Amino acid sequence: MKEGVTPGGIEYYLPLFFPAKTDARGAVEEPHAGPATLFDYLADDALFVLGEGAGEASETFWTQTAERYDQRAHDIERPVLPPAELYLSPEQLRGQLNKRLRVEVVENGHAHAVDAGTQPAPELPLNRKGEEPGTSLRHFLESYPGHVLVAADSAGRREALLETLASAGLKPENIESWQAFLTRHPGAGRNDEPSRFAITIAPLEQGFALTRPALTVLTERELFGERVRTERRRRRGAARDPDAIIRDLTELSVGSPIVHVDHGVGRYQGLLSMELGGMEGEFLVIEYAKGDKLYVPVAQLGLVSRYSGTAPELAPLHSLGGDAWERARRKAAEKVRDVAAELLAIYAQREARGGESLPIDRMLVEEFGASFPFEETPDQEQAIDAVLRDLAAPRAMDRVICGDVGFGKTEVALRAAFAAATAGKQVAVLVPTTLLAQQHYRNFADRFADWPVKVDVLSRFKSSKEVNEALKRLADGQIDVIVGTHKLLQPDIKFRNLGLVVVDEEQRFGVRQKEQLKKLRAEVDLLTMTATPIPRTLNMAMSGLRDLSLITTPPAHRMAVRTFISAWDPATIREAFQRELARGGQVYFLHNEVESIERTARELEELIPEARIGIAHGQMAERELERVMADFHRQRFNVLVCTTIIETGIDIPTANTIIIDRADRFGLAQLHQLRGRVGRSHHRAYAYLIVPDRKAITADAEKRLEALASLEELGAGFTLATHDLEIRGAGELLGDEQSGQIQEIGFGLYTELLDRAVRALKSGKVPDFDLSSEHETEVELHLPALIPDDYLPDVHTRLTLYKRIASARNEDQLRDLQVEMIDRFGLLPEPTKTLFALSGLKLMATPLGIRKLDFGANGGRITFRDKPEVDPMAIIRLIQKQPRVYKLDGQDKLRVTLDLPGASERIRSAQEVLVLLGARRPG
């Protein structure tokens, strides 16, 4: 499909030509006068849905494409094909559509509009009696005379629903599509046996019912209720927690440093399939010093993590079997214990100072939140709830909200400010630039307009008299929320009752301001917002010194910004401008040198004569700068040649292309922030990073650009921050020595040790720094347990999924992973089901203190650790009740004698034994 855009900014798609269809031998199946089109690959009964203006959009696209071809047709170095060889003309498109079934979407009240006669899906007993979904649906089927179709969101959800319904004795017919259900319905002109109750994949937002014929379509919304559906979505989104992002194996390539908790830092050498004990398995290969190699079974990838904390080339390389790793880990553990003690001392100081517990009126905050014009994402809801809990707690809040530009961090700040202001406290909103101060002031003033909350701003755009008056009212308590730059931190600024400080983009502030913020942390509630936390902030958040909330769920209909790295090429630059301007959009051209910015603007005027160009930079007079930004916002000109002053500028939804000149000179966080200036609406946005010859830029700059280009997906800010941490190093946490320890063992392992130490000291115990495989149960079922390469050929994706399966912390995470894999790749093959079963058994057995669980065709044995968490009487009862099945084998083994020929028998028997020993039953 080829993406295009109308001058009004509406995105649409036109069919591309494709090669003719061929059979298995490569011969053309059907003769064609020309190349095949998308229409040739669709069934004859395919239904087309056409929005209003589709015809005009195709005409506009055809005209624009012809114009661009004329401009590039003479480029000998990069020849382009004529439009007629790539696209259908509007006439050809209309001709094809006229032969097809189609629905035309028209305005309300159109003379030929059809009323489908649908009704809302009936309410199930679940909403009245609180029954289980399967039981609730069974009761509904008993009383409903018509046909019922359950619509699952995806293939994975269908499998999960089938399990749920089976537990209630329901077995719907599994059909491939809702069309198949309709054609088998009585009255459809067919003699097939109709499906009274069926299930299919159809991601509908809600169900519906028809009276003639009697037919009901139910979705998970009706089966589980809104609350359960929301919880499922939240769990799916919650997988992107900070620990998972830091410790996963994404971005891992052959030669990358990797950490095994038992053996230290080696170099990843890929995945290897081999047969062991007659069973096919897959192993991750790690190479250590002197060429020694370690083969890690994929079921044990929980012991492996990506090395981060310094540049890969500076990572250590340990010897397999040597004592260097043990020494490094022991030394790091000693330092970690000291850091943990110091962290707890800081916590104790904060607890001792207390901080005021604010009387938060949750009902009032919810009423205020109802004026939010969008639906909150699950991440936003969690962040808001965490902030309100912090405000109500009897200690000073210090929370970091990390989320990409436009993901709703400001709304979290608005709720916090409202809660604090209505509790009688003053709020200071601290921002790095005057332009951002003006934007926040407008946002806060608009949202608080209907409430008795007074908002004001301190900025360069105000006269001295206005500033002095505002300061007097602030000191008298007549201002509830004050927005301003670092001037708010000056000692002569007096508050009557300051309770909350909101800091936007902390990394933009200088050392002196950060020191002042440190002092504030112990005295007032502090809320920090950032898109890409600097390594030190990330480090402190990961260590638990500062609380962290991630907002990684994008707003509805938001699309990722397409990012290109390119040398300066006038033809490419011109086309980038023309594409954006042709759809009625606006362009940022970032040139970060004030001395030559006007010359650059003149050159662009010559290159793109049709552009209306304005200039903005920090050395302009305040009033002039404000006028330029306001004019750009009102679309009085469509190109803004500017410096990084726009980094935290006003939101302009129609600006959806940014060209960054000499992008190699910017930091990773800054590039990500600048890229976030575009793509603030539902239109596709583009970022062009213009760099000189690759040989002329530094190695770190190249890494930054590659990291940015590789992470285009929405919500990548936190992941980019971890890349920044790797490129620049973690930075000190509480002292200079910590950087060395992080470099020795890697940031992921360091933060895990620190987390263990803090939790142990808090509970008055001695920290346990043993992270080795001794603490995990080894599970062996003598069955193939892997993701076959014919099911998932991509090695890197297999590796990532192996790691996620091995690192799952509970049954819910494993179930969500199964659903995700089925959705992405199809029904799970048997070896993959076994792999999930191994992880499930490990989750059950590890808390019991079981060293190894080994089940085969004739039974197996369970080996316990020195001090297992198992009631000895449970073992004795097993042996007394079934002496032929269960026997003690020495001091630490329980032997099980059973006929277990297949996978299902072994898994079920292992689960039953573990439950009898005290494990929680899965599911």
User: Which residue bears the tokens 């920290």?
Assistant: 767
Burial of 602: CB neighbours in 10 Å, binned 0-12, 13-18, 19+ = exposed
Q: What pLDDT, on a 0 to 100 scale, did the predictor assign at position 31?
A: 40
Which backbone phi and psi does 451 adopt, to 5 degrees?
-125, 155
CA 688 to CA 668: how far, in whole Å? 15
CA 185 to CA 215: how far, in whole Å? 9
Q: Is the pLDDT of residue 25 over 50?
A: no
> Mean of the pLDDT values across residues 536-548?
59
Q: Is the pLDDT of residue 615 over 90?
A: yes
Q: What pLDDT, on a 0 to 100 scale, did the predictor assign at position 532?
A: 60
Q: Is the pLDDT of residue 715 over 50?
A: no
| pLDDT interval class at 733 (50, 70, 90) | very low
- Tell me the whole-structure pTM to 2 decimals: 0.59
Q: Which two tokens stand for residue 402?
A: 């990390």
> Mean of the pLDDT values across residues 905-918?
91
> Mean of the pLDDT values across residues 501-509?
76
| pLDDT interval class at 403 (50, 70, 90) | confident
Q: What pLDDT, on a 0 to 100 scale, did the predictor assign at position 354?
A: 58
Q: What pLDDT, on a 0 to 100 scale, did the predictor assign at position 243?
A: 47
User: Which residue bears the tokens 């179930």?
Assistant: 815
Residues of the chain with CATH 3.40.50.300: 362-551, 562-713
Residues of the chain with CATH 3.40.50.11140: 119-237
Q: Are 548 and 242 in contact (CB under 8 A)?
A: yes
Q: Is the pLDDT of residue 186 over 90?
A: no
| pLDDT interval class at 597 (50, 70, 90) | very high
Task: Please report, for residues 223, 331, 789, 818, the alpha-carbon distance to residue 822 in angstroms, rounded to integers and kept in the order given.
Answer: 21, 44, 15, 6
Task: Please report, for residues 42, 43, 83, 223, 372, the alpha-carbon distance to residue 21 in angstroms, rounded to integers and kept in the order given.
Answer: 12, 14, 22, 43, 51
Q: What is the pLDDT of residues 734-760, one digit of tens each?
A: 444 445 566 777 777 777 777 777 767
DSSP letter for each residue of 626-662: HHHHHHHHTTSSSEEEE-GGGTT----TTEEEEEEET
Q: What is the DSSP letter of 494?
A: -
Q: What is the pLDDT of residues 775-810, one digit of tens each?
A: 678 899 999 999 998 888 888 888 888 888 988 888
| pLDDT interval class at 29 (50, 70, 90) | very low
What homologous superfamily does CATH list for 804-916?
A: Transcription-repair-coupling factor, D7 domain (3.90.1150.50)
Specify the 3-state DSSP secondary structure of 436: helix
Q: What pLDDT, on a 0 to 100 scale, did the predictor assign at position 238?
A: 38
Architecture of domain 562-713: 3-Layer(aba) Sandwich (3.40)
Q: What pLDDT, on a 0 to 100 scale, did the predictor assign at position 822?
A: 87
The topology (CATH level 3) of 362-551 is Rossmann fold (3.40.50)
Calculated CA dihedral for residues 874, 877, 882, 885, nearest 10 degrees: 30
Burial of 117: CB neighbours in 10 Å, binned 0-12, 13-18, 19+ = exposed
Which backbone phi and psi does 556 adopt, to 5 degrees?
-60, 140
Architecture of domain 119-237: 3-Layer(aba) Sandwich (3.40)
| pLDDT interval class at 513 (50, 70, 90) | low
CA 13 to CA 766: how far, in whole Å? 63
Q: Is the pLDDT of residue 122 over 70?
A: yes
The mean of the pLDDT values for the chain is: 78
Specify the 3-state DSSP secondary structure of 349: helix
Range with lowest mean pLDDT among 194-203, 597-606, 781-790, 801-810 = 194-203
Cα separation of the two ends of the chain: 42
> Mean of the pLDDT values across residues 225-252?
47
Q: What pLDDT, on a 0 to 100 scale, did the predictor assign at position 773?
A: 54
> Mean of the pLDDT values across residues 150-176?
83
Sheet holding 498-504, edge to edge: 455-458, 481-484, 426-430, 498-504, 525-530, 398-403, 547-551
